């Protein structure tokens, strides 16, 4: 089975985010970048499917050349191949633009793809748009926020998380699936994997080669402001006998802020 | 018109959908337009009254047995057909699991951009400006969309409900799902937890962290939740990664971002990823043994103490408030 996993380079979740009010961008200086955590679940799932059913796993990222680092990590974890679609633009927050690039890439280079795996959202833009948009542009079925996936030759069943329950969804292949935490526990790279990954070549495909009209690559999102959230003031802190602190707490909630 | 999607669960319109409609009505009034809603499903006409009560002047009914069960592809196709026919200036969805699944598919079908999980919508030069948290709330992004209609999902529990006149017109729209489409199909809803609220939709979130010490103690939080209407149990990443509670309860950057009226944090130190996911809560209460825990920096009311002593006392005080 030919499986494609789409990964994005994002700031580590431990990071403190700083913004530049002049350029309306996130300050990248001093940030540590990682593969977006949900994408790791997607990659792990792809590797497990290959291990049980055979096939090939290709990791793909769209972005600047810095994304080669996370593609190398995908190879070290066990992906057979990796490809970078080189996009000169920094973060646009426009999911449709990214989806058009990915869908164009799949159509032109890998129309035999059986399964397209994504993380349910990137940690950062938090858009959760690209998997569904790629599915629509390619005319494929989608299942998002998947916590369990069972595949057969030409179809599958996925369990998707919804509020207070799960939907069991049946779908034919090829399909688009986006991964949620809980789907699996991603493996660590092995030393052998890291060494092998270093020797592998990662082809770089310039975005122009995908053949998307220039007007379809112009972002439809215009950022008007990027700012820090309003700082919260620390309130009062109390300590003492539990009966007393509990009484003060209920008084605060019931009489003062009236939320209970 | 600003069109809104009326999400139905258990034969009722979700509160988050009504919130979205109320916000659409406010912004539409500012733009000199009206607000509408669309209902897709089977035998759903009876629900239109709730939408009129929140300011819809027209409710579009796509009532068809073939659309009884939610299907991303069929619903997106139905909405795209309606959008092409009535040309709304904007389409709003609640940022629920359904809205987050359906809105991007519709946007791609219409070839337009989407603003996800917005917490504020304002009018700027006759267009809408959408404000939304990024990095789970570590920064706030405002943006405009140059494509039309302007499609957005709005975060539950953020936009206020407002009663309206209650009058409007029901318009039936015929729509047949296309035959021969390769589609994903919901075959079953499993593990329904008897109307248990999701942390993203609860008015009160009661969360536990590493200080809960083990899975058995989350029962204490569930007991507390039973006393508080519209509450749900949340957790920090370390509690989830220790296997004490399911990940669907996780609040924070690799979990859910919540904005309840009240966030109660028991035994949560306040790692940066967790603070990002809950700092937009209206009132925050923290109970922790460690007076230097970072959670106290964002808490409106902090109790330094042993949660296993404070929790039972708190429960007892709450029970005193209940009418006899």
**Tens-place pLDDT, residues B67-78:** 999 999 999 999
Q: Collect all residues of chain A within an 8 Å Cβ-Cβ radius of residue B282.
A: 259
Token output for A12? 């580590």
Residue B287 class from Cβ within 10 Å (0-12 exposed, 13-18 middle, 19+ buried)? buried
Calculate the CA dihedral of residues B255, B259, B260, B263 and round it to 10 degrees. Answer: 70
Q: How far apart are CA B118 and CA B154, in angstroms?
A: 5
Judge: A259–B200 Cβ closer than 8 Å, yes or no. no
Sheet holding A236-239, edge to edge: A236-239, B301-304, B283-288, B262-266, B204-208, B231-235
Q: How far is B55 from chain A (nearest CA, A)?
A: 26
* Residue A34 Cα distances to A8, A64, A66, A231, angstroms: 8, 14, 11, 27
Please determine, for the modelled complex, whether the ipTM score is greater than 0.85: yes
Residues 6+ apart with CB under 8 A from B28: B1, B2, B34, B35
Q: Which one of B73, B134, B304 has the shortest CB-CB distance to A126?
A: B134
Chain B residues in contact with A122 (beta carbon < 8 A): none
Centre a 10 Å sphere on the Cβ of residue B81 and count the other Cβ atoms it contains: 16
pLDDT of the residue at A241: 97
Question: Quick check: B256 and B200 in contact, CB under 8 A?
Answer: yes
Q: Is the pLDDT of residue B257 over 90?
A: yes
Does an H or E element contain B86, and which?
Answer: helix B72-86
Q: In the prediction, which pLDDT does B194 show?
A: 66
Tens of pLDDT along B160-188? 999 988 899 999 999 999 988 889 999 99
CA of A77 vs chain B CAs: smallest distance (Å): 21
Runs of H (alpha helix) within chain A: 37-53, 68-77, 95-109, 130-138, 191-199, 214-217, 242-251
Tokens for B106? 């519709």
Phi, psi angle pair for B122, to nearest 5°: -135, 165
Mutation for testing the B interface, residue in A11, A140, A159, A162 having most B CBs under 10 Å: A162
> What's residue B166's pLDDT?
85
- What pLDDT shows up at residue B323? 72
pLDDT in tens, B96-133: 999 999 999 999 999 999 999 999 999 999 999 999 99
Average pLDDT across chain B, whole number: 96
**Is A165 close to B193, i.e. CB distance below 8 A?**
yes
Stated pTM of the model:
0.96
Quick one: tokens of A255? Answer: 């009489």
Query: For residue B285, what are the CA distances in angstroms to A46, B117, B138, B267, B299?
Result: 42, 25, 20, 11, 5
Strand bridging mode A236-239 / A19-20: unpaired
Section B197-222 average pLDDT: 96
What DSSP designation does B196 have? Answer: P
A237 to chain B: which residues are within 8 Å by CB? 291, 296, 299, 301-304
Give B48→chain A minimum CA distance, Å. Answer: 23
Q: What confidence score (pLDDT) does residue B196 get?
A: 79
**pLDDT, position B191:** 81
User: B208 pairs with which residues across the strands?
Assistant: B235, B266
Classified as helix, coil or strand, B127 is strand
What is the chain B residue with the closest CA to A235? Answer: B300
Which one of B73, B102, B298 has the shortest CB-CB distance to A141?
B73
Q: How far is A146 from chain B (nearest CA, A)?
A: 11
Average pLDDT over residues B42-61: 97
What Rg value do the Cα atoms of chain A yield, rounded? 22
DSSP B251: B
- Split at pLDDT 50, 70, 90, the class of B324 is low
Distance from CA of A42 to the nearest CA of B (A): 14
Q: For residue B34, what pLDDT is reported? A: 97
Torsion over CA: A12, A17, A18, A21 (sign): positive
- Residue that the structure tokens 């595949």 belong to: A151
> The tokens of A44 are what?
């792990």
Q: Residue A145: enclosing H or E segment and its boundaries?
A: strand A142-151
> Which pair of structure tokens corresponds to residue B158?
């953020």
* Chain A residues touching B144 at Cβ < 8 A: 221-222, 224
Does B303 contact A254 at a Cβ distance shorter than 8 Å?
no
Contact A73, A35 (CB under 8 A): yes
Place of tokens 């998997």: A131
The Cα–Cα gap between A209 and A217 comes to 13
- pLDDT tens for each residue of chain A, 260 residues long: 999 999 999 999 999 999 999 999 999 999 999 999 999 999 999 999 999 999 999 999 999 999 999 999 999 999 999 999 999 999 999 999 999 999 999 999 898 899 999 999 999 999 999 999 999 999 999 999 999 999 999 999 999 999 989 999 999 999 999 999 999 999 999 999 999 999 999 999 999 999 999 889 999 999 999 999 999 998 999 999 999 999 999 999 999 999 99
**B283 pLDDT exceeds 80?**
yes
Question: Euclidean distance between the first and final Cα of chain B, in Å?
Answer: 49
B234-246 tens-digit pLDDT: 999 999 999 999 9
Selecting from A11, A132, A157 the residue whose C-beta is nearest the C-beta of B101 gives A132
> Strand, helix or coil at A2?
strand
Residue with tokens 């499903």: B41
Percent of chain B with pLDDT over 70: 99
Closest CB from B109, B184, B300 relative to A143: B184
What pLDDT, on a 0 to 100 scale, did the predictor assign at position B265?
98
Residue A196, min C-alpha distance to chain B (Å)? 30
CA distances from B161 to A15, B53, B55 (A): 36, 10, 10
CB B226 within 8 A of CB B196: no
CB-based contact B182 A162, cutoff 8 Å: no
Spell out which residues of chain B touch residue A250, defining contact as CB-CB under 8 Å: 314, 317-318, 320-321
């Amino acid at each position: 089975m030919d499986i494609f996993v789409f990964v994005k380079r994002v700031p580590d979740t431990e990071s403190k985010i700083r913004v530049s009010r002049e350029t309306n961008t996130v300050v990248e200086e001093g940030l540590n970048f990682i593969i977006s955590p949900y994408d790791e679940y997607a990659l792990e799932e792809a590797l497990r499917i290959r291990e049980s059913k055979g096939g090939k796993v290709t990791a793909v990222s769209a972005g600047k050349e810095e994304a080669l680092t996370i593609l190398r990590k995908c190879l070290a974890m066990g992906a057979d191949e990796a490809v970078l679609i080189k996009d000169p633009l920094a973060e646009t927050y426009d999911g449709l633009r990214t989806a058009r690039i990915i869908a164009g890439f799949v159509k032109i280079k890998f129309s035999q793809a059986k399964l397209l795996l994504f993380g349910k959202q990137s940690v950062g833009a938090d858009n959760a748009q690209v998997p569904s948009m790629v599915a629509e542009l390619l005319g494929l079925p989608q299942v998002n926020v998947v916590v369990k996936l069972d595949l057969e030759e030409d179809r599958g069943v996925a369990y998707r998380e919804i509020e207070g329950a799960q939907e069991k969804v049946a779908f034919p292949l090829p399909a688009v699936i986006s991964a949620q935490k809980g789907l699996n526990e991603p493996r660590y790279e092995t030393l052998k994997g890291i060494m092998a990954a270093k020797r592998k070549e990662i082809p770089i495909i310039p975005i122009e080669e995908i053949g998307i009209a220039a007007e379809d690559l112009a972002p439809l999102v215009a950022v008007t402001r990027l700012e820090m959230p309003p700082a919260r003031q620390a309130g009062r802190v109390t300590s003492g006998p539990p009966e007393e602190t509990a009484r003060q707490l209920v008084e605060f909630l019931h009489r003062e802020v009236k939320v209970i | 018109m600003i069109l809104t999607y009326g999400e139905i669960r258990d034969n009722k319109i979700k509160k988050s959908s009504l919130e979205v409609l109320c916000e659409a009505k406010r912004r539409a009034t500012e733009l000199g337009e009206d607000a509408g809603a669309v209902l897709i499903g089977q035998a759903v006409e009876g629900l239109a009254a709730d939408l009129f009560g929140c300011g819809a002047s027209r409710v579009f009914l796509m009532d068809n047995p073939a659309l009884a069960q939610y299907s991303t592809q069929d619903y997106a196709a139905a909405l795209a057909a309606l959008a092409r026919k009535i040309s709304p200036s904007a389409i709003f969805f609640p940022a629920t699991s359904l809205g987050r699944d359906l809105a991007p598919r519709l946007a791609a079908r219409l070839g337009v951009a989407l603003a996800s999980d917005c917490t504020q919508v304002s009018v700027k030069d006759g267009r809408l400006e959408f404000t939304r948290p990024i990095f789970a709330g570590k920064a706030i992004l405002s943006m405009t969309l140059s494509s039309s209609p302007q499609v957005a999902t709005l975060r539950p529990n953020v936009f206020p409900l407002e009663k309206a006149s209650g009058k409007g017109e029901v318009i039936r729209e015929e729509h047949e799902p296309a035959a021969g489409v390769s589609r994903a199909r919901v075959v079953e809803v499993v593990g329904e937890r008897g109307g248990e609220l999701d942390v993203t939709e609860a008015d009160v979130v009661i969360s536990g962290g590493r200080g809960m010490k083990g899975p058995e103690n989350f029962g204490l939080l569930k007991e507390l939740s039973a006393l508080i209407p519209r509450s749900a149990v949340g957790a920090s990443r370390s509690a989830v990664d220790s296997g004490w509670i399911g990940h669907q309860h996780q609040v924070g950057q690799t979990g859910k971002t919540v904005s309840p009226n009240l966030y109660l944090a028991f035994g949560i130190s306040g790692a940066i990823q967790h603070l990002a996911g809950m700092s937009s809560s209206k009132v925050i209460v923290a109970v922790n043994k460690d007076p230097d825990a970072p959670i106290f920096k964002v808490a409106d009311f902090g109790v330094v103490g042993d949660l296993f002593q404070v929790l039972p006392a708190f429960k007892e005080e709450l029970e005193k408030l209940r009418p006899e």
